Structure 1
């Protein structure tokens, strides 16, 4: 999403963009909204902001079904980051998906205080990690498989990849290379944890079947 003038939401380079906490705080929570309306309200800054908005509810306590609503858009979004798209595209079936006002209210109330604390340390730095087209594609390369994992119905499998994607999204949106590096570390840890859990579940299943059938 490298742009000729500035990445930050299509703003002039001399203008200071809104921070993610401002974007989240300004979200309309008095009525249901659609994913398309939410994406349109973010403009050209949609990539980093939406990656965060779609990922972080899966890392905190939210109503059941959250991953089913937000998981597929996150897969599509991270794929476009990987492909280096400069403008966001969502199919109409995804754009028309509704997000309830209750889910939005809960998201805003839980996330805004956390973001306010994080933004005290987030700042543009280590630009080579985040500002080039190659760096942005690398973020997509890491985030896309994590989004696939998050979308799949893996027991207890949502939180680690969601936290990693949220951290990558913060780095992308705030141009903070340190946050991106932390996201890479969390991504590796997520894969390790999920691999360990999958191995344990497989071993337990084999042991159960062996005991059951006397193998």
Structure 2
């Protein structure tokens, strides 16, 4: 008697992201969910889903405090994706961080009002940019975008880049990954230009001071 070999694991990309976020909010109860509990509810797309969940609160313009803490977690997760780790690992103190129920509800409400287009438009395509080397490339841009999130009052645009990159990995949509890379590149270029302009302006002002004196 021969046993039937197990069916190969399929790469399921049919995620309904809005429904997933609502389910997390419903599961939170009054006490909310720890990051460990959220991670345990995710599937093979844990990297993309975790980063998407963490990037949503950072989309709020001018938010200070939350992006700085969340950004550290995103960098830790993206670095592991860059190194090729199959599943994300987080230190105990991060896993014990708790998302309050009010935050989970607000996140689910926001996704239902603003993110429904993701499920309608995303689909597997341009797989070279969302699998293998493409995942590593996305991780690099995630880290670069997150480094700008931790700066005060600069969280919204890089968070959009993060959300697009995360969706691209979740849905295996290389077009979303490329969109996220483009936004991250443009934003980093703008900040760099502003920084260089400030340095040149400061140097010019310092050169004028002796003459004015």
The reply to whether TM is greater than 0.5 is yes
Seen in structure 2, the aligned counterparts of structure 1 residues 206 and 35 have a Cα distance that, compared at 3 Å, is farther
Correspondence list, 1:13-162, <5 A: 13=10, 17-28=14-25, 29-30=28-29, 31-61=31-61, 64-131=64-131, 133-151=132-150, 154-162=151-159
Matched, 1:168 2:165: yes
Moved more, 100-109 or 196-205: 196-205
Aligned length: 203
Contact kept? 1:19, 1:174, Cα under 8 Å: no
Contact kept? 1:62, 1:106, Cα under 8 Å: no
Cα RMSD for the two superposed structures: 2.7
TM-score with structure 1 length normalisation? 0.81
How far apart, CA to CA, are the structure 1 residues paired with 2:69 and 2:19? Answer: 23
How far apart, CA to CA, are the structure 1 residues paired with 2:57 and 2:35? Answer: 14
Larger-gyration structure (1/2): 2
Contact kept? 2:61, 2:155, Cα under 8 Å: no
- Which residue in 2 is equivalent to 1:190? 187
Contact kept? 1:62, 1:103, Cα under 8 Å: no
Contact kept? 2:62, 2:153, Cα under 8 Å: no
How far apart, CA to CA, are the structure 1 residues paired with 2:104 and 2:55? Answer: 14
How far apart, CA to CA, are the structure 2 residues paired with 1:196 and 1:111? Answer: 33
How far apart, CA to CA, are the structure 2 residues paired with 1:210 and 1:106? Answer: 51
Per-residue deviation, 1:74: 0.4
Per-residue deviation, 1:182: 0.8
Per-residue deviation, 1:155: 2.9
Q: Show structure 1 runs of 5+ residues with no match.
A: 7-11
Seen in structure 2, the aligned counterparts of structure 1 residues 16 and 145 have a Cα distance that, compared at 3 Å, is closer
Alignment partner of 2:10: what SS?
coil
- Which residue in 1 is equivalent to 2:175? 178
How far apart, CA to CA, are the structure 1 residues paired with 2:82 and 2:70? Answer: 18
TM-score with structure 2 length normalisation? 0.82
Contact kept? 2:168, 2:175, Cα under 8 Å: yes
Per-residue deviation, 1:165: 1.1
Per-residue deviation, 1:45: 2.0
- Which residue in 1 is equivalent to 2:3? none
Seen in structure 2, the aligned counterparts of structure 1 residues 15 and 169 have a Cα distance that, compared at 3 Å, is closer
Moved more, 15-24 or 165-174: 15-24
Per-residue deviation, 1:142: 1.6
